[in-house]
Amino acid sequence: MEPKGDIAVIGLAVMGQNLILNMNDHGFTVVAFNRTTSKVDDFLNNEAKGTNILGAHSLAEMVALLKKPRRVMLMVKAGSAVDDFIEQWLGVLEPGDIVIDGGNSLFQDTIRRTKYVESKGLLYIGTGVSGGEEGARRGPSIMPGGSPAAWPHVKPIFQAISAKVSDGSPCCDWVGEGGAGHYVKMTHNGIEYGDMQLICEAYQIMKDGLGMTADEMHEVFKEWNQGELESYLVEITRDILGKKDEDGQPLVDKILDTAGQKGTGKWTVISSQELGIPITLIAEAVYSRCVSALKDARVEAAKVFKPSNPKFAGDRKQWVSDIRKALYASKIISYTQGYMLMRAAAQQHGWNLNYGGIALMWRGGCIIRSVFLGEIKKAFDKNPNLTNLLLDPFFKKAIKSCARSWRKVVSAAVKKGIPAPAFSTALAFFDGLRSERLPANLLQAQRDYFGAHTYERIDKPRGEFFHTNWTGSGGRVASSTYTV
Ligand code: 2AM
């Protein structure tokens, strides 16, 4: 009998199960496999009952059920489990078969694995899948990269199961070679950290600066979700603020204020450091989670340094409008930085990224989905070579119309001692970017003074380096110039 399986999915945790059910809904025959094989039977007898999903209890059985070229997709924990599976598969798959990793793998691992699997004659795809459980079930954002020759074979499945935007375009397209898909997914997660932090800062300013209750803020987020901030994260914030505990009090007020993290935000920041790209907002978002984790230290310090009166003076409605604008402007900065990062990574790794396509992939299905991403898509459609999102006419106008409120909110937060690190760093970055002359002339002089690191001059061509004997007692020899 001819094998019927279109694709195998390995790993029956919640994301894996939901992706399988989603593929089944779209008419694909999926083979389900899991290391602990009892989970296969459990799945077939419950969630997958009455569907066309096939179970396999060994890799050999799985392979026998698949049409060629075989497509096998891993939905297991990132790390060594992926390498273990690749080794096992290389023993049972054939040249031309396609290995897909749908976990949150580090992009360097995906670069390495793509090369390795290709060296064995097979094809590799490392893909970001975003949208949580619900996304996996109803339509995630999917960001595939790896071996270009594999794409036509997985495209029909991935684009069928992905989220769609209003005109029907799928939130899934080929991202690029090697680790490009996982890089874009990592950047997505970094931006997600930033978006969440911005919302949280707006919340804290409204709570502490304006004395607003969760119910009142629920109304504010409801309104914000009807304008330019309309997004999944604003929507769930609205719902969270409206949720009551069993005693009728807002649940959010009872949740301990220490945040966890799994590492993709940190990876984004590490990559930005390596590439020398300032993604200051995401970095502050990661560090803010670290500060939140210092609960005991904060409780101690608050006993000594607690701000005496954090309340803002003035009209509350006006403040809420200012905070919305500060959030919007800061968000524009965060995406500007995120796109700068992807552009630098693409250059370093030789990826031909489609920036408008990335905005479209993020437009639906994933955690950062928003109306805002539609504007980014438009900006790149108009100018595919746009190097700085801030220079697009739409965003230029938006930043200009928010600037006064942004400064007002950041200065009030500073004056009153309410932490707003992401709002503030966004503004500092903006001010840095629009400074034709920064104090780095002095910095270079300092470096040359103590380390003979040399400097360039404004009255000489770039690339000519000078050293001054600042004290009259140092040597004549300059250290070689280098930039890390
Ligand atoms: P399990 O059910 O056998 O534990 C999420 O943890 C998914 O990843 C589960 O399907 C889990 O399989 C799988 N997984 C985690 N580590 C694994 C490993 N080292 N080898 C195989 N599967 C693994």
Instruction: Verify whether residue 375 is a known catalytic residue.
Output: no
CB 85 within 8 A of CB 117: no
Q: Which residues contact 52 (CB under 8 A, 6 or more apart)?
A: 24, 29, 30
Query: Parallel, antiparallel, or unpaired: how do β-strands 141-146 and 98-101 relate?
Result: unpaired
Sign for the CA dihedral angle at 197, 389, 410, 215 comes to: negative
Q: Hey, is 118 helix, strand or coil? A: helix
- What is the C-alpha to C-alpha distance for residues 121 and 76, in angstroms, rounded to an integer? 23
Q: Which of 192, 201, 284, 375 is catalytic?
A: 192
Q: In this predicted structure, what is the pLDDT of residue 476?
A: 67
Sign for the CA dihedral angle at 170, 176, 179, 183 comes to: negative
Q: In this predicted structure, what is the pLDDT of residue 480?
A: 66
For atom 18 of ligand 1, the residue with the nearest CA is 81
Instruction: Verify whether residue 201 is a known catalytic residue.
Output: no
Phi then psi dihedrals of residue 184, to 5 deg? -65, -35
Q: In this predicted structure, what is the pLDDT of residue 477?
A: 72
DSSP state, 228? T
Nearest to 97 by CA among 138, 139, 127, 63: 63
- What is the C-alpha to C-alpha distance for residues 109 and 126, in angstroms, rounded to an integer? 9
Q: In this predicted structure, what is the pLDDT of residue 261?
A: 87
| Geometric angle at alpha carbon 417, from 416 and 418, rounded to 5° | 95
Whole-model pTM: value is 0.95
Site to substitute for ligand 1 among 35, 59, 82, 84, most atoms within 8 A of C-beta = 35
CB 382 within 8 A of CB 392: yes
For the chain, which ranges sit under pLDDT 70? 474-476, 480-484
Q: What residue type is assigned to position 343 of the chain?
A: R
- What is the C-alpha to C-alpha distance for residues 149 and 174, in angstroms, rounded to an integer? 11
CA-only gyration radius of the chain, Å: 26
CB 418 within 8 A of CB 208: yes
Q: Which of 185, 266, 325, 377 is catalytic?
A: 185
Q: Which residues contact 26 (CB under 8 A, 6 or more apart)?
A: 157, 160, 161
Q: Hey, is 99 helix, strand or coil? A: strand
- For the record, the structure tokens of 462 come out as 């770039």
Phi then psi dihedrals of residue 147, to 5 deg? -85, 115
Site to substitute for ligand 1 among 75, 76, 89, 104, most atoms within 8 A of C-beta = 76
Instruction: Please report, for residues 160, 162, 363, the alpha-carbon distance to residue 168 in angstroms, rounded to integers and kept in the order given.
Output: 11, 11, 12
Alpha carbon of 79 to ligand 1 centroid (Å): 11
Rounded to 10°, the helix 180-204/280-293 angle is 60
